Amino acid sequence: MSEIKRMDLEYSQLDSDRMRINVGPQHPSTHGVLRLEVEVDGEIVTEVVPHLGYLHRSFEKHCERMTYQQIIPYIDRMDYISAMNNEWPYVMALEKMLDIKVPEKVEYLRVIVSELNRIANHQIAVATFGLDAGAFTPFLFYFRDREYIIWILEKLSGARLLYNYFRVGGMAADIYPTFKQEVLDVVAKVRKTNAEIMNLLIYNSIFIKRTAHVGILTPEVAINYGCSGPVLRGSGVAHDLRRDEAYSVYDRFDFEVPVGKGEVGVVGDSWNRNMVRVNEMEQSCRIIEQAIAQMPDEGDVTALIPKRIKIPKGEVYMRAENPKGDLGFYIVSNGTDKPERLKARGASFVNLSVIPEISKGYMFADLILILGSIDIVLGEVDR
Amino acid sequence: MGLLNKLDDPYEGGGIVLGKVEELLNWGRSKSDWYLHFGLACCAIEFMAMNASHFDFMRFGTIPRTSPRQADFIMITGTVTFKMADRIKVLYEQMAEPKYVISVGSCSNSGGPYWEHGYHVLKGVDLIIPVDVYIPGCPPRPEAFEEGMIQLQKKISQQAIFNKRKKLGIE
């Protein structure tokens, strides 16, 4: 498994005509409505130009017109696969501005629902990555397990996908009596399926041949482009805001930051990026178990929610570790109940920008896998 | 096997069913609809869940197609932006008759949460293509997808194939 798949462009130029191909905006493998304008020499990709804006839903305009509480549902619809994680940095930013100290129970509940949603996000990411490589069974396995997570989040918040569960100073609703036991059952199911997926997909020799040595992203390029999340960690850079900045109660948990180690392929290739996600699911399971054990039973999660939010004049930037990478919110307040300006720093948008850099010189079929290994969601790219 | 056959098949050696050709054609048409899946936003994730374990969309006889020329109906799942609208129109025009449209989710029904300030969002996909079934929700539950599919099957099975103009009273 040491063959180099990247074609040397000097030798591949056989005086053939370069052809420009459109991938998308509607294509099952573009993970949304991304359009890639690809220039190919024979079957070798020489240039990739991503075209954005097919899902531009005027997020920042809405933020200027809505009150602070009304913005939370729109934040759900940015990265719609991990809505719980999206809401967190936003409410953290407002709590910082209002100087609210949320109760312990709320912090633990936030950790649990966010880590559950992180598992659900990585399940979709790995499942669709397998789908891109031609493996359909892992998709069915992961979606079977994802549904159990969704059911828990639905019982808590009332919605299956876009939860609107976080509130400034608390949560929308308290936990239900069997919550802790159900979460632990789901964690056991996630672990069992992951053990199966290891044999079925991850160490499958066909999958390794398709993904190892494909789309190598060196740590230097990843840092220069501002990548974050599993894309950066797949390149061997151990950067995780949960550990490095330790917001909320993350400093109380014992967990590792998985990085690409290059046990198959080389560090920074598609296989390693994917492997980071699988390992992160295990780490999320560990965090959930510790959080369930430490979570206090008494306490009202809705007690500190203010009826009307008026943020004092000023600005704040708050970021958190999303499944896709760092998600940051920069809020400028003018002293009213609506923000003057709200800018979101989406991880998918930044991670997408390395596609032209890392996909040059590979086969056209590998481009789809490189895109799948980056794990973008177009709601967050276009916003 | 022999007992089962007798239970299932009361007419030994096959039977005869009398009926209209139209009903037979509609029965076949409504039970094997191939669809062009046009996943745009959040609803597409629920549609993935709909296609996977637990719900199994294919039991309705639906098979996903990636070409509009092979599709019987198109599912618009998500927010239709102005930049995307003309593509949807072209894809709809490429589909062969008879063709149907299911509009999934509040965004494609009416603009949904982006109704008031969404300067780049089309306020309902029915402004550009005719919609047969609307599925409400933001995003709709998989059960709502099932109901929408049943409604489309019902609509197809009641349609006229022959003497359309006479039945409509045009001639």
DSSP bridge pairs for A339 = A333
Nearest CB to A57 within list B54, B120, B139: B120
Instruction: Mark yes or no for CB contact A80/B45 under 8 Å.
Output: yes
What's the whole-number mean pLDDT along residues B152-159? 88
Residue A294 belongs to some domain of the structure: yes
Nearest CB to B84 within list A54, A65, A160: A54
Q: What is the ipTM of this complex?
A: 0.82
The predicted structure's pLDDT at residue A16: 64
Instruction: Mark yes or no for CB contact A57/B81 under 8 Å.
Output: yes
The predicted structure's pLDDT at residue A117: 92
Using a CB-CB cut-off of 8 Å, the residues of chain A touching B78 are 55
Residue A36 belongs to some domain of the structure: no
Nearest CB to B114 within list A28, A53, A58: A58
Q: How confident is the model at residue A2 (pLDDT cuts 50, 70, 90)?
A: very low
What's the whole-number mean pLDDT along residues A281-293? 91
Provide Rg for chain B, Cα atoms: 19
Using a CB-CB cut-off of 8 Å, the residues of chain B touching A378 are 41
Q: What is the pLDDT of residues B72-129, one digit of tens each?
A: 899 888 889 998 888 889 889 999 888 999 999 898 999 888 888 888 899 989 899 9
Residue A297 belongs to some domain of the structure: yes
Q: What is the pLDDT of residues B5-57, one digit of tens each?
A: 666 666 666 677 788 888 888 888 888 889 888 888 888 888 888 888 888 88
Using a CB-CB cut-off of 8 Å, the residues of chain A touching B46 are 160-161
Distance between CA atoms of residues B154 and B158, nearest Å: 6
What's the whole-number mean pLDDT along residues A294-322? 85
CA distance readout (Å), A3 to A76, A213, A264, A265, A266: 43, 8, 12, 9, 11
The predicted structure's pLDDT at residue A17: 74
Q: What is the pLDDT of residues A226-269, one digit of tens each?
A: 999 899 998 988 888 888 888 888 888 888 899 888 888 888 88
Q: How confident is the model at residue A6 (pLDDT cuts 50, 70, 90)?
A: low
Residue A153 belongs to some domain of the structure: yes
| Domain containing residue A286: CATH number | 1.10.645.10
- Where is pLDDT greater, at A15 or A135? A135
Instruction: Mark yes or no for CB contact B83/A56 under 8 Å.
Output: yes
pLDDT of A188 > 90? The answer is yes
What is the residue range of A373's domain?
Answer: 50-382
A20, A38 contact by CB (below 8 A):
yes
Residue A174 belongs to some domain of the structure: yes
For residue A179, the tally of other CB atoms under 10 A from its CB is: 17
A170, A91 contact by CB (below 8 A):
no
Domain count, chain A: 1
Instruction: Mark yes or no for CB contact B44/A77 under 8 Å.
Output: no
pLDDT of B147 > 80? The answer is yes
Instruction: Identify the residue whose tokens are 């991670």.
Output: A351
Residue A140 belongs to some domain of the structure: yes
Q: How confident is the model at residue A1 (pLDDT cuts 50, 70, 90)?
A: very low
pLDDT of A120 > 50? The answer is yes
For residue B114, the chain A residue with the least C-alpha distance is A57
Residue A16 belongs to some domain of the structure: no
Q: What is the pLDDT of residues A320-342, one digit of tens each?
A: 999 998 999 999 988 888 888 89
pLDDT of A359 > 70? The answer is yes
User: For A58-161, where are the alpha helices, taking DSSP H only?
Assistant: 59-65, 68-76, 83-98, 104-133, 137-157
DSSP one-letter code for B21: H
Residue A66's Cβ-side half-sphere holds a number of Cα atoms within 13 Å equal to 20
Give the phi and the psi of residue A47 in degrees, each rounded to 5. Answer: -155, 140
pTM: predicted TM-score of the whole model, two decimal places: 0.88
Nearest to B71 by CA among B23, B38, B24: B38
Residue A31 belongs to some domain of the structure: no
Cα A259 to chain centroid distance, Å, stands at 16
Which residues of chain B have a Cβ shorter than 8 Å from any chain A Cβ?
37-42, 44-46, 48-49, 52-54, 66, 78-79, 81, 83-84, 87, 91, 113-114, 116-121, 138-139, 141
Q: Which one of B43, B53, B91, B138 would you mutate to disrupt binding with A, by most A Cβ within 10 Å of its Cβ?
A: B53
